Amino acid sequence: MMRKFILKIFSYFLFICLQFVFSAVKLHAIPIHKINNAKYIELNDFITTNKCVKYSWDPLSLNLEIECNDKSVQAALEKNYYTSEGKQYYLNSAPIYKDEKIFLPLEFTEELFSELNFNINYKFDSEEIKIEDEAIAGNDEKDFSLTKNYDKLDFIIIDPGHGGKDPGAFAAEGLAEKKITLSAGRIVYYALKKAFPQIKIYSTRFKDKFITLEKRAQIANSKIKKDEFGIFISLHCNATLSKKTNGYEIYYLSQSEDNEESREIMLRENQYESENELINTIESILFNSQIQAESKTLARQINSSLMTYTDNLVKGRGVKKADFAVLRGVLMPAVLIEMGYLSNKREAGVIVQKSFQEKLAEGIIEGIRGFLKKRPRL
């Protein structure tokens, strides 16, 4: 009872603080252009988001380079990918040249915010990107989880998905996702405690208990103390109509999903999202590009490690992005791991095994270590 009371008090306090902070935010807007059924912003408008941004492009090769904060991203007009630190990443739409102007896909714009280590707060609306004015955007006191001690990690929160009246997806044999995530969550929790004895490890649930998505965020955010830094990892299983689809996926929060499949998974995972003042306030918060950059790095590092530890058991489908409610409310770097497909009979038989879940835990541990080495610097 005391725990519930404390959580309610914290939630109310957070709600009041967020309302106060964001009622004072001054915003400027960048228009979104609809071209060939896709959304774009003009490159010259993107430059206004940060004074350090520079770009160059070759009209003959159509190659484009955008720089800021000693980081650079390369792309090419009419090509559906970009390159960052020597690695290529896919885009749904390509940058284009129209009316003597360069236009960047909206998805690419969000990628640039994190790839170039911006520290701004932003939100996509239907017709514009709202970006916090520079005078306010640099205020670290408002960035709840950020710390400039990049080797520091104070706590890790494991979130076994679903539970109680929310069973999640089902395997062909009737086994519910909620039981698999709980089992994996326990194994990962104790493995983390052993691997990181100096770090506080938490779990949102240890029993078959229903916890709303905003409550999971509240539990995570209640662990934040001044000058402390933590990460949030949510565990899930996937499912689809195709019995052949297989592989694990790692998601980070984004306002522009990868594809229709990501949107379908988002809708399934968000189905128990509650509607109250707190979650609505959290949804209205501007995204912080530094937390986005850290979440993306965490996802990539865990993905890289899992390729080593679980690839012979469950193949990786890569790092993806979606607007998961459980990630949206968490004020720290956060990822969601879909451990595999319960709709695939072979894979369902693998991910329920303790041996796989132990390998999963090892991969997560190494991914966290890699994240601390690669964590984006401001």
Identify the CA nearest to 108 among candidates 144, 76, 68: 76
Token pair for 353: 């095994």
Lowest-confidence region among 148-152, 235-239, 336-340: 148-152
State the Cα–Cα distance between residues 204 and 234, nearest whole angstrom: 9
State the Cα–Cα distance between residues 199 and 295, nearest whole angstrom: 19
pLDDT bin (cut points 50, 70, 90) of residue 123 is: confident
Q: What stretch of H or E contains 368?
A: helix 354-374
CATH 3.30.457.10 region(s) of the chain?
A: 28-132
pLDDT bin (cut points 50, 70, 90) of residue 70 is: confident
Q: How far is CA 352 from the centre of its chain?
A: 25
Per-residue pLDDT at 237 exceeds 90: yes
Per-residue pLDDT at 266 exceeds 70: no
CATH 3.40.630.40 region(s) of the chain?
A: 141-374
Lowest-confidence region among 72-76, 77-81, 147-151, 369-373: 147-151
- Give the model's pLDDT for residue 44: 95
List, for residues 127-178, the tens digit of each pLDDT value.
898 887 553 344 343 444 455 566 789 999 999 999 999 999 998 788 999 9
Higher pLDDT, 16 or 358: 358
Identify the CA nearest to 205 among candidates 234, 228, 177: 234
For the segment 15-39, the average pLDDT, to the nearest whole number, is 69
How much of the chain is in helix, strand and coil states, percent to nearest 5? 40, 25, 35
Average pLDDT of every residue of the chain: 84
Lowest-confidence region among 58-62, 243-247, 326-330, 357-361: 326-330
Per-residue pLDDT at 14 exceeds 70: no
pLDDT bin (cut points 50, 70, 90) of residue 327 is: confident
Residue 220 CB neighbours (<10 A): 26
Could you give the 3-state DSSP secondary structure of residue 287? strand
Residue 190: φ, ψ to 5°: -70, -30
Identify the CA nearest to 117 among candidates 283, 297, 258: 297
Q: Which numeric CATH code is attached to 28-132?
A: 3.30.457.10
List, for residues 80-109, the tens digit of each pLDDT value.
999 999 999 999 899 999 999 999 999 999
Beta-strand relationship, 81-84 and 87-90: antiparallel
Q: What is the pTM of this model?
A: 0.82
Task: Specify whether the backbone of 208 is left (phi greater than 0), alpha (psi in -120 to 50) or beta.
Answer: beta
Higher pLDDT, 375 or 339: 339
Q: What stretch of H or E contains 6?
A: helix 2-23
List, for residues 184-197, the tens digit of each pLDDT value.
999 999 999 999 99
- Alpha-carbon Rg of the chain, whole angstroms? 21
Name the CATH superfamily housing domain 141-374.
Answer: Zn-dependent exopeptidases (3.40.630.40)
State the Cα–Cα distance between residues 293 and 112, nearest whole angstrom: 10
pLDDT bin (cut points 50, 70, 90) of residue 272 is: low
**373, 297 in Cβ contact below 8 A?**
no
- Give the model's pLDDT for residue 111: 92
CA distances from 149 to 91, 232, 377 (A): 33, 18, 10
The side-by-side arrangement of strands in the sheet containing 96-98 is 33-35, 38-42, 101-105, 96-98
* DSSP character string of 96-157: EEETTEEEEEHHHHHHHHHHTT---EEEE-SSEEEEE-HHHHT-GGG-TT--S-TT---EEE
Identify the CA nearest to 167 among candidates 158, 157, 175, 177: 177
Higher pLDDT, 159 or 266: 159
**189, 203 in Cβ contact below 8 A?**
yes
Bridge partner residues of 337 (DSSP): 235, 250
